[in-house]
């Protein structure tokens, strides 16, 4: 157990819908990262937050957004969902925002029908 | 942009034997970090081992060790005394040491099968 928690574990929804994925980092970790794992794209970095502020953006679609709250948990919002958004979404955390190992949560498996 | 390549989509090994998984990467940076993550059927991403580019000594963690060749941009993972629980997807990952680039860049993964 990495200490990073993610809810829900599984999510099934329909195209056009909106969902929110939640992540709680390890105790003491200030940085949160979101990754998407899909069959065709592999593991890709989406976005990073550090102590409530956006720090880096990767291949995140405009339909996706995220935020980190004062208690350091983070939420990834996915809207206008498409079939291709079906994937495993990981949250990872680290103590600081650089030179630190990232520890991954168990992931949220999203299926868009 | 940095890229990571794992040229072996699948590997298999007999239980108790040794296996080496290959990884190469491309970067123009001199300071960075390399990682191997394991993803068992549960899909959890588990850190196996980490290597700092400025360290010449290869990292080891129990039965897991790496062969880090900085000039060749190669970072292979050796698993000794393979166990059934080692069966998983293994991902090699790169991370810049630059404060502005904290993301992990992953290879496509190698599926490791352990034969009893």
Fill in the DSSP letter of residue A40.
T
Model confidence at A112, pLDDT cuts 50, 70, 90, reads: very high
* A97 neighbourhood in chain B, CB within 8 Å: 99, 102
Q: What averages of pLDDT result for each successive group of 10 residues across chain B (116 residues)?
A: 94 97 95 95 94 93 97 97 97 87 91 96
Q: What is the pLDDT of residues A38-69, one digit of tens each?
A: 988 889 999 999 999 999 999 899 999 999 99
Question: CB of A91 within 8 A of CB of A33?
Answer: yes
* Whole-number pLDDT of residue B101: 66
Fill in the DSSP letter of residue B28.
S
Smallest CA–CA distance, residue B70 to chain A, in Å, is 18
Average pLDDT for residues A66-78, to the nearest whole number?
97
What are the tokens at B73? 């941009």
* Whole-number pLDDT of residue B98: 80
Distance of CA A71 to the CA centre of its chain: 16
Distance of CA B79 to the CA centre of its chain: 11
Phi-psi region for residue A31, left (φ > 0), alpha (ψ -120 to 50) or beta? beta
Q: Does B47 touch chain A (CB under 8 A)?
A: yes
Question: CB of B96 within 8 A of CB of B105?
Answer: no
* Whole-number pLDDT of residue B97: 85
């Amino acid at each position: 157990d990495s200490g990073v928690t993610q809810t829900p574990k599984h999510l099934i929804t329909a195209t056009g819908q909106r969902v929110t994925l939640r992540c709680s980092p390890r105790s003491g970790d200030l940085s949160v990262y979101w990754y998407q794992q899909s069959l065709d794209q592999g593991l890709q970095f989406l976005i990073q937050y550090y102590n409530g502020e956006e720090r880096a953006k990767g291949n995140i679609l405009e339909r996706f957004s995220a935020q980190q709250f004062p208690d350091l948990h983070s939420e990834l919002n996915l809207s206008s969902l498409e079939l291709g958004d079906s994937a495993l979404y990981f949250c990872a955390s680290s103590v600081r925002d650089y030179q630190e190992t990232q520890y991954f949560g168990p992931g949220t498996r999203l299926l868009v029908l | 942009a940095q890229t990571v390549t794992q040229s072996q989509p699948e590997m298999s090994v007999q239980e108790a034997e040794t296996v080496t998984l290959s990884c190469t990467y491309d970067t123009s940076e001199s300071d960075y970090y390399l990682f191997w993550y394991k993803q068992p059927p549960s899909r959890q991403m588990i850190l196996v081992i980490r290597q700092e580019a400025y360290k010449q000594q290869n990292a080891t963690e129990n039965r897991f060790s790496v062969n880090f060749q900085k000039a060749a941009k190669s970072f292979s993972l050796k698993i000794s005394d393979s166990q059934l629980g080692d069966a998983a997807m293994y991902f090699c990952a790169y991370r810049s040491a630059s404060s502005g680039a904290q993301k992990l860049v992953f290879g496509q993964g190698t599926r490791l099968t352990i034969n009893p």
